[in-house]
């Protein structure tokens, strides 16, 4: 990219420069210059910091143009000049009825995308009347026991006109089946159903820990559903492969990058092994990353992710359709970076994190509210969070040109470094027997625990400063955040409704469909079709999960996965 | 030398966010305590049974899901029912100030909230356990 003459001149000039700089280095403003992830950063980056920068082919081999291979600069030719990123704010809305009202309000305001989040019992495959659900029903978002709840949530909403994202993992097939059953009742053909399911079970074992079944049957659930959707629900995004939770659980930026992409490759290999063609399903996969506070490290992470994915898809998995080479991603700012102390500072943190996601070329973005360390967001805080994105989009000018940090010696060198370190992790994962083996043996879990503990130690030794927490502290600060409390009545109402549905449904049909699901689960048929039959006759999430628990067992973390570091 | 402090750590309820409790486990271990982490989705009964069996000085739990007003009292009840209130119960998580006050009044020895350094938890536990041991003598 640069001339060979520059290479030799640079070497001479840097020696002279260094002689002067050395005199100034005696005093330093910080004890160590390193990223949030613990990566040491050089004082200065120049063209010779970029490996291969003096080779003729370097630009097109490593960087190239947006919308073209290597896709480092972005997945579209024109990026934000033709379409800004989608400002997608994830929200919790309460009971099925309140959720439905909120959805109708969003649609009346011109919104077209709905986001559904579920309470912990639903996420864990327990009905609202299960003893383990006590105290958790409707707490962190909406409770779904049967199709009847989904009929209320999406009542009077034309499912051919909206796209719905559902944040659900272990029982994802069950919730999608219920959603499709609502569509069928509305007379909406499945090929018009659009939306995204999180459905990323691998990161549950690694990070968020909302798993039910062991990894291998869980992967079968996913591939069965991918198969069904590729044939019948072609516009549906079947998995959102998530690094977000991996980062929140303590990962460094490189670990987030490497483990997320490794998970993605694991799904792709599983689908290929199940007989699917790589180009049949890969374009329906998308990614979900975290935007943490270390500005340049995050930008380099997104750029490296696109480059790594494109190369592996083209060269390793032999995908022919260019759409299979594109890593499209959603970003959420880092919840774990927010502080309970001086919460207004979180607005600043979120703005800088969001800016990194935009400069990194995200397709959609959620900005956190300043009060989220203590509660579900207040309306005012949620509005500020959305406004933050709008300020970035319309006032700062950063969307005027594509990938504006390309060619920065620092950003390019950091992008290359993260790519190389991710490749080293891929090699280690393979040496350890692959992603599933690494999960079973607790490799990822230990890596995360170690990073999280190191981060905490750096904070406590004040090698790392968090404003308002370990420096610039306000003595006797009283945090004034209004707390949204969920009424106990929500739980009682949900239980009463579940009893009613159970009394009214055709229990013979429920038992027959559940028995069939058990046979399929223990055999080789497509589990998704069997789940769909159960969902349609109002079998509960818990009943279906119990059949699968009986067939496959439940996952319990091994001692090595639970190790503190 | 005083006997090592033995502490059982666990995640009750359905919430799987275990970053915090693992950091605490590592910090307690490095501070010279004996740490038994029993993992995720432990019922109050499982937690108290394990604490009695392991003969621990204290139980520490972490809850980030909002179910703390159900789970802390349930563990206290279980301790009471098994005549084991000599085991200290403390915890941490996303717990609003007024709930924290209510729980501490109920008999939870201490609630730590976001941003608390591990050093604070270590100091608290040492003080509380040594205080109890002196009383026993």
Q: Where are the domains of chain A?
A: 79-460
Nearest by CB to residue A557, choosing from B26, B39, B115, is: B39
Q: Compute the nearest-CA separation of B123 from chain A (Å).
A: 14
- CATH level 2 (architecture), domain A79-460: Alpha-Beta Barrel (3.20)
With CA atoms as reference, the chain B residue closest to A132 would be B13
> In terms of C-beta density within 10 A (0-12 exposed, 13-18 middle, 19 or more buried), how is residue A26 classed?
exposed
**pLDDT more than 90, % of chain A:** 84
Average pLDDT over residues A493-519: 97
* Chains A & B: contacts with CB separation below 8 Å: 100
Q: What is the pLDDT of residues A193-216, one digit of tens each?
A: 999 999 999 999 999 999 999 999
Model confidence over A5-16: pLDDT tens digits?
999 999 999 999
Inter-chain residue contact A374 with B94, CB threshold 8 Å: yes
Which of A462, A182, A477 shows the shortest CA–CA distance to B97? A477
Contact (CB<8Å) A456/B23: yes
**A439 CA to chain B: closest CA distance, Å?**
16
Distance from CA of A170 to the nearest CA of B (A): 13
Closest residue on chain A to B72 (Cα): A135
Q: Do B43 and A132 touch (CB under 8 A)?
A: yes
ipTM (interface pTM): 0.93
Q: What percent of chain A is helix, strand and coil (3-state, nearest 5)?
A: 55, 10, 40
Q: Which residue among A132, A211, A341 sits closest to B115, beta carbon to beta carbon? A: A341
Contact list, A469 vs chain B (CB under 8 Å): 115
Give which of A270, A180, A179 is closest to A222, Cα–Cα: A270
- As beta bridge partners, residue A87 has A365
Q: Where are the alpha helices (DSSP H) in A71-214?
A: 96-108, 120-123, 147-153, 172-186, 202-203
| Lowest-pLDDT range of A108-117, A139-148, A507-516 | A108-117
Is cis: bond before A201, omega within 30 of 0? no
Rounded to the nearest angstrom, the gap between the alpha carbon of residue A298 and the centroid of all alpha carbons in its chain is 15
Task: Check CB contact under 8 Å for A136 and B13.
Answer: yes
Chain A contact probe: residue of B20, B21, B22 with most A CBs at under 10 A: B22
Cα R_g (chain B), whole angstroms: 14
A127 has pLDDT over 70: yes
**Segment among A2-11, A83-92, A309-318, B113-122 with least mean pLDDT:** A83-92
Q: Given this model, what pLDDT does residue B133 score? A: 81
Quick one: pLDDT at residue B1? 47
Q: In which residue ranges of chain B is pLDDT below 50?
A: 1
Instruction: Answer yes or no: do B19 and A486 touch at CB < 8 A.
Output: no
Average pLDDT in chain A: 94
Please indicate if any CB of chain B lies within 8 Å of the CB of A467. no
Average of pLDDT values for A93-114?
A: 85
Enter the CATH code of domain B6-136.
3.40.50.280
Q: State residue A283's pLDDT score.
A: 95
pLDDT band at A376 (very low <50, low <70, confident <90, very high): confident
pLDDT at A118 over 90: yes
**Is A564 in Cβ contact with B14 (below 8 Å)?**
no
Q: Which residues of B touch A375 (CB under 8 A)?
A: 94, 96
Inspect the interface and report whether the beta carbons of B66 and A456 lie closer than 8 Å. Answer: no
A246 touches chain B (CB under 8 A): no
The chain A residue lying nearest B29, using CA atoms, is A564
Give the Å distances, CA to CA, from A166 to A48, A142, A227, B102: 46, 11, 19, 36
Residues from chain A that touch B97, judged by Cβ atoms under 8 A, are: 479
Would the CB atoms of B97 and A448 count as touching at under 8 Å? no
- Residue A484 has a pLDDT of 65
Surface of A (384-443) touching B: CB under 8 A: none
Q: For B19, which of A134, A139, A249 is closest by C-beta distance?
A: A249
The radius of gyration of chain A from alpha carbons, rounded to an integer in Å, stands at: 25
Smallest Cβ–Cβ distance between A136 and the set B16, B26, B65 belongs to B65
Using CB atoms within 10 A of its CB, is residue B102 exposed (0-12), middle (13-18) or buried (19+)? middle
Cα angle A86, A87, A93 (rounded to 5 degrees) comes to 125
User: Quick one: pLDDT at residue A428?
Assistant: 98
Cβ contact, residue pair A135, B94, below 8 Å: no
Helix, strand, coil percentages for chain B (3-state, nearest 5): 45, 20, 35
The distance in angstroms from the start CA to the end CA of chain B is 15
Residues A224-245 pLDDT 10s:
999 999 999 999 999 999 999 9
CA A31 to chain centre: 34
| Any B CB within 8 A of A474 CB | no
Tens-digit pLDDT profile for residues B44-59: 999 999 999 999 999 9
Specify the DSSP class assigned to residue A128: T
B26/A134 touch (CB, cutoff 8 Å), yes or no: no
pLDDT at A347 over 80: yes
- pLDDT value at position B137? 64
Q: Say yes or no for a CB contact (<8 Å) between B14 and A126.
A: yes
- Calculate the average pLDDT of chain B: 93
Condensed to tens digits (0 to 9), the pLDDT of residues A24-47 reads 888 777 778 999 998 999 999 999
- Residues of B with a Cβ under 8 Å from any A Cβ are 13-19, 22-23, 25-27, 29, 35, 37, 39-41, 43, 65-67, 69-71, 94, 96-97, 113-115, 117-119
In this predicted structure, what is the pLDDT of residue B119? 95
pTM: 0.95
Q: B35 and A460: CB-CB below 8 Å?
A: no
Listing from the earlier edge strand, what are the strands of the sheet with A364-366? A86-87, A364-366, A329-333, A285-291, A239-242
Q: Please enumerate in sequence order all residues whose Cβ is within 8 A of that of A279, keeping only pairs 6 or more positions apart, or say none.
A: A319, A320, A321, A323, A324
User: Residues A260-290: pLDDT tens digits?
Assistant: 999 999 999 999 999 999 999 999 999 999 9
How does residue A524 score in pLDDT terms, banded at 50, 70 and 90?
Answer: very high
**Residues pairing with A194 in the sheet:** A163
A-chain CB neighbours of B115 within 8 Å are 339-341, 469
Q: Say if CB B7 and CB B126 are below 8 A apart.
A: no
Secondary structure of A400-458 as H, E, C letters: CCCCCCCCCHHHHHHHHHHHHHHHHHHHHHHHCCCHHHHHHHCHHHHHHHHHHHHHHHH
- Shortest Cα–Cα distance, B46 to chain A (Å): 13
**B19 contacts in A (CB within 8 Å)?**
248-250, 336, 448-449, 452
Q: So what's the pLDDT on residue A352?
A: 98
- The C-alpha of B115 sits at a distance from chain A's nearest C-alpha, in angstroms, of 7
Instruction: Give me the pLDDT at residue A483, please.
Output: 64
Chain A positions touching B43 (Cβ under 8 A) are 132
Cβ pair B67:A135 closer than 8 A: yes
Q: Is residue A481 pLDDT above 70, yes or no?
A: no
- Residue A454 near chain B (CB below 8 Å): no
d(CA A550, CA A514): 12
């Amino acid at each position: 990219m640069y001339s060979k003459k520059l290479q030799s001149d640079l070497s001479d000039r840097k020696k002279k420069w260094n002689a002067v700089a050395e005199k100034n280095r005696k005093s330093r403003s910080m004890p160590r210059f390193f990223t949030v992830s613990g990566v040491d950063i050089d004082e200065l980056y120049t063209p010779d910091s970029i490996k291969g920068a003096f080779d003729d082919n370097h630009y097109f081999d490593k960087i190239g143009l947006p919308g073209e291979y290597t896709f480092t600069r972005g997945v579209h030719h024109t990026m934000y000049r033709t379409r800004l990123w989608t400002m997608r704010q994830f929200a919790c809305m309460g009971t099925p009825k309140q959720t439905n009202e909120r959805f109708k309000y969003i649609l009346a305001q011109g919104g077209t995308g709905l986001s559904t989040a579920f309470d912990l019992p639903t996420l864990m495959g327990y009905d609202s009347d299960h003893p383990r659900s006590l105290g958790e029903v409707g707490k962190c978002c909406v409770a779904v026991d049967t199709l009847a709840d989904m009929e209320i949530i999406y009542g009077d909403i034309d499912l051919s006109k909206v796209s719905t994202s559902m944040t659900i993992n272990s029982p994802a097939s069950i919730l999608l089946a219920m959603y499709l059953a609502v569509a069928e009742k509305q007379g909406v053909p499945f090929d018009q159903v659009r939306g995204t399911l999180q459905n990323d079970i691998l990161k549950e074992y690694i990070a968020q820990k909302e798993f039910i079944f062991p990894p291998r049957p869980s992967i079968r659930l996913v591939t069965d559903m991918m198969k069904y959707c590729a044939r019948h629900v072609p516009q549906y995004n079947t998995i959102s492969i998530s690094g977000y939770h991996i980062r929140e659980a303590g990962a460094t930026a490189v670990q987030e990058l490497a483990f997320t992409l490794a998970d993605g490759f694991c799904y792709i290999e599983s689908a290929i092994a199940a007989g699917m063609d790589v180009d049949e399903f890969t374009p329906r996969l998308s990614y979900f990353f975290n935007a943490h506070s270390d500005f340049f490290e995050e930008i380099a992470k997104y750029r490296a992710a696109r480059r790594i994915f494109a190369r592996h898809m083209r060269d390793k998995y032999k995908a022919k359709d260019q759409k299979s080479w594109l890593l499209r991603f959603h970003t959420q700012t880092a919840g774990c970076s927010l502080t309970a102390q001086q919460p207004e500072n979180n607005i600043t943190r979120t703005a800088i994190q969001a800016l990194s996601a935009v400069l990194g070329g995200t397709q959609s973005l959620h900005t956190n509210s300043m009060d989220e360390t203590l509660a579900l967001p207040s309306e005012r805080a949620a509005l500020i969070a959305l406004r933050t994105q709008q300020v970035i989009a319309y006032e700062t000018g950063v969307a005027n040109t594509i990938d504006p940090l390309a060619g920065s010696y620092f950003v390019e060198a950091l992008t290359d470094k993260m790519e190389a370190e991710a490749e080293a992790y891929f090699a280690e994962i393979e040496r350890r027997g692959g992603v599933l083996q690494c999960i079973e043996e607790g490799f990822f879990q230990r890596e995360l625990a170690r990073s999280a503990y190191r981060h905490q130690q750096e904070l406590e030794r004040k090698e790392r400063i968090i404003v308002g927490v370990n420096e610039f502290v306000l003595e006797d600060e009283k945090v004034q955040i209004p707390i949204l409390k969920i009424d106990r009545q929500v739980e009682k109402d949900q239980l009463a409704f579940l009893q009613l549905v159970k009394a009214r449904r055709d229990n013979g049909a429920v038992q027959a469909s559940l028995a069939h699901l058990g046979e399929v689960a223990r055999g080789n048929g497509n589990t998704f079709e069997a789940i769909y039959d159960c969902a349609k006759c109002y079998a509960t999430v818990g009943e279906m999960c119990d059949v699968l628990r009986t067939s496959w067992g439940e996952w319990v973390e091994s001692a090595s996965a639970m190790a503190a570091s | 030398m005083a006997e090592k402090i033995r502490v059982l750590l666990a995640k009750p309820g359905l919430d799987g966010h275990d970053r915090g409790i693992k950091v605490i486990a590592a910090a307690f271990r490095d501070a010279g305590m004996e740490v038994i982490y029993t993992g995720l989705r432990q019922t109050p009964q499982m937690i108290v049974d394990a604490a009695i069996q392991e003969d621990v000085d204290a139980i520490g739990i972490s809850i980030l899901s909002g179910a703390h007003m159900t789970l802390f009292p349930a563990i206290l009840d279980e301790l009471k029912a098994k005549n084991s209130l000599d085991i200290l119960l403390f915890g941490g998580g996303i717990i609003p100030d007024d709930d924290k006050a209510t729980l501490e009044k109920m008999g939870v020895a201490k609630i730590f909230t976001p941003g608390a350094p591990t050093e604070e938890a270590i100091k608290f536990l040492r003080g509380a356990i040594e205080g109890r041991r002196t009383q026993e003598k």
